[in-house]
Chain A
Amino acid sequence: MAPLQTSQQTGTPLSPAELSYLHTSLTLTPPIRPDSRTPTQFRPLIAESDILPSTNGSARMIWGDGGECVVGVKAEVEKNSASSGGPRDWVEISVEVSGQRDDDAFLGMTVAESLLVPESGVLERLALGERFHWKVFVDILLLTPPLSHPATLLTLTTYLALRNTFLPKLVSEVAEDPVFDDDWDNALPLYPVDRIAPPITLLVVSVGENIFFDPTREELAAGDVVLAVSICGKKVVGVRTLEGGGGGVGRAVVKRVIKESCEVAEEVFGSLNSVGEGD
C-alpha cells in the first residue's frame, strides 16, 4: 500500500491505480472491503464511560486504527443574562485535536448543530428556575486522531458521555437561588432513558450501488460521495457532505444513504447503550 500522507487535506493516500482497484472491488456484488468487513460492520472498538470522576459525565473510546477520543462534560450554574444569546449559549462545545493548531470547524459545527437541534428537549432540562440555568461544557479531546475521518468516533464518544451525564437535583423553589441535593445518588440524568437520546453522526460512503459504514481512510478516498448523517432518536437531524470522491451523485443515492443510516443507527444506539452494563 502506498505510504499514507500525514495531513488529511493533501489529496488521496492512494495512487490512481490503487484507487481504481479499490473502487472496483467495492462496486462488486457482494462488495469486497479491504479488511473483509460487511458493508454495515463497524471496526472493533473499545468504549468505556465514567472514566473521569471530576466530571458530570465522561467517556473514552479507542478505535481500531488507533484513534482515541475522550469526552468530558462539566456543568456549572450560570445566571440568566439578557445580553447573551439565550438557551443557545447554554451548551458550549469545544473540539480539540491534538497536534492540530486550529480545531476543525466542521467537527464542532456538526456536533453543535445536531446537539442543539430544536425539540431535542435538552435546553429545557437545563433551566433552573427563573433566573438560573446550567451551563454545560462539552470538551471533546481527540488524543490520537484516527486515520479515517474522526466524526463518527467523536460523536459516538460524545453520545456515551452525555448519556452518562448526571446533574445534581435541584431542591430549591423556582424563584429562589438554586440549592442542590448533595447526594449524587439522587442526581438526575441529563438525558433520561424515556426521552430523546443524544445524537450520533455516522459516516457513510457510497460506491456505485453499495453503501459502506465506518469507512477507512482508503475507502473514503475511493467513494463517490461521503455523507455524515446525524441521527437523533429516529429522526435525521443533519446531513453534511464531506471531502472525498469526485463528481456528483444522483439524488437517489443520497436518499438511500440517509435511509440506510437510520436503520444502522438503531443498531448502533443499541450497542452503545449496552456499554457500561457489562462492567
Chain B
Amino acid sequence: MTDRRRINGPPEGTTPLVFPSGSTHKSMIKRSPTTLRRIFLKTSLTPPATGSAFLELPTPSCPSTPTLKLTTSVYGPRPLPSSTTFSPNARLTAELKFSPFSTPGRRRGYIRDGVERDLSAQLSLALGKSVDVGKYPKSAIDVFVSVLDCEGGLGDPNDVKSSGVEVGLMSVLAAAISCAGAAIADAGIECFDLVAGGVAGLIKKRDGEVEGDRIVADMGIGGGNDDSRRGGERDTRITLVLDPSPTEDYIILAAAAVGYMAARDELTLVWTKGSMARNCDGTDEVESLIDGAIAAATGVRLVINEAIKERLLLGLNAVGLVRGTAGGDNGDRTVG
C-alpha cells in the first residue's frame, strides 16, 4: 500500500543497485581485540529538546568504510496526555528510527518496521531502569533516536554476508543506549546512574591467525569468502573481541550487548545472539561474553562522563552558580 502522506517513487517500483560481483570489501583489523573504537559524543546539539546528544564513531582510515552516526533527543518530564490512565511513575518511551539513507542495500521506508520496533522496545527498557521514574508521577519522558548512518550487518537480505551472527543491530542498540543515556543526563532527569551500552563478540578469523592478544592484519581484502567453512576447525581460533564491527573481516560466532550502569555495577539490558557453549574447556562463553560487553560499556561510560562534565561546566560558567547536581561522578573509574 502506498503512503499517501509522503511522496512516493515511480509506481513500477525501483531496485537497488546491482554490482557485477561481491564488491563489498571488509576493512583490515588494526585494533587489538580489547581496544574500543574511539567515540565522539556531544550533548545539546538539538536545542529545542530538553536534552540531546550526538554520537559518532570517527571514520577510520578508508573514507568509504561505513561508520555509525546517531542523534538522540529527550523531551520531558512532561505531563501525560489526559487520555491516558493514571501512572504513579514516569512513563519512558523510546523510539528508534533508521533514516532512509542510513543502511546499505535497499532504501528504508518511513514506516516503522519490526526491527525498529524491537530495538525501540529494548532501548526503552535499558533506559527505563536507569531513570528514577518514581520521582515523576503522571509524566512522560520521550526519547527519540535517529540513526543517520550505520555500519550494516543488520541481517537485511541484501546484506552480503556469508555466515555468522549479525552484530550490526547490537552496535546500533549499544550506541543508542549510550547516546540516550547522555541525553537523559543532559535533560537533567534524575537517574539512578548513567547507562552505557557495550557489545562484545566471539569471533573467528576468516583465514588469518589469532595470536594471543593481537590479530595479524596482513590479509587480502575480500578474499576468504569461499573457504570460511574450511575444515570445520571451529574451536581452535576463537577470540573475545570488545566492540566488534560488522565492517571488519571476521566471522562473529556469538555476540552480546548490554546496558550497564557502571557506578552501581548493574545491568539494565542483556541481549545475546548466536550459540554459546556452556562449558567449553572450563570457560563459560556466555559469562565471558557478558563480561566482555560490560568491559566495553565501562569504556564507553568514561566518554559519557566527559561529555556530560564538559556540558555541565559550560552551563555552570554561563549561569555562574554551582548546584549539587546528580552527575553520577562517583565510581566512574571502574575500568575492568
Residues of A within 8 A of B (CB): 10-11, 16, 84-86, 88-89, 102-103, 105-106, 108-109, 113, 117-120, 225, 227, 232, 234-243, 245-251, 254-255, 258-259, 262
The total of interchain contacts (Cβ-Cβ below 8 angstroms) comes to: 121
How many chain B residues have a CB neighbour from A under 8 Å? 53
Residue B310, interface by CB 8 Å: no
Quick check: B278 and A235 within 8 Å, CB to CB? yes
Residue B199, interface by CB 8 Å: no
Quick check: A241 and B122 within 8 Å, CB to CB? yes
Quick check: B267 and A237 within 8 Å, CB to CB? no
Which residues in A have their C-beta under 8 angstroms from that of B269?
241
Residue B150, interface by CB 8 Å: no
- Provide a sorted-by-A list of 23 A–B residue pairs whose CB atoms are within 8 angstroms: A11-B89, A85-B157, A105-B121, A118-B164, A118-B165, A119-B275, A235-B276, A237-B274, A239-B271, A241-B122, A241-B269, A242-B125, A246-B133, A247-B266, A248-B195, A248-B264, A251-B265, A251-B267, A254-B267, A255-B284, A255-B290, A258-B286, A259-B284
Quick check: A249 and B266 within 8 Å, CB to CB? yes
- 10 further A-B contacts with Cβ under 8 Å, apart from A102-B117, A118-B253, A118-B274, are A109-B118, A119-B234, A119-B275, A236-B278, A239-B270, A240-B272, A242-B125, A248-B129, A248-B193, A251-B266
Which residues in A have their C-beta under 8 angstroms from that of B89?
11
Q: Is the interface of B mostly helix, strand, loop or mixed?
A: mixed
Which residues in A have their C-beta under 8 angstroms from that of B271?
239-241
With contact pairs A119-B275, A251-B291 given, residues A88 and B87 touching in the complex (Cβ less than 8 Å): no
Query: Of B114, B256, B276, which contacts A109 at CB under 8 A?
Result: B114
With contact pairs A84-B157, A232-B275 given, residues A250 and B125 touching in the complex (Cβ less than 8 Å): no
Which residues in A have their C-beta under 8 angstroms from that of B125?
241-243
- A113–B270 Cα distance when bound, in Å, is 15
B67 to chain A minimum Cβ distance, whole angstroms, is 24
With contact pairs A118-B165, A262-B278 given, residues A248 and B286 touching in the complex (Cβ less than 8 Å): no
With contact pairs A243-B125, A248-B268 given, residues A236 and B158 touching in the complex (Cβ less than 8 Å): no
Contact with A along B83-115 (1 / 0, CB 8 A): 001011100000000000000000000000011
Quick check: B270 and A240 within 8 Å, CB to CB? yes
Which residues in B have their C-beta under 8 angstroms from that of A89?
157
Residue B277, interface by CB 8 Å: yes
- A88–B267 Cα distance when bound, in Å, is 31
Quick check: B275 and A237 within 8 Å, CB to CB? yes
- A237–B272 Cα distance when bound, in Å, is 7
With contact pairs A235-B276, A248-B129 given, residues A227 and B158 touching in the complex (Cβ less than 8 Å): no
Residue B287, interface by CB 8 Å: yes
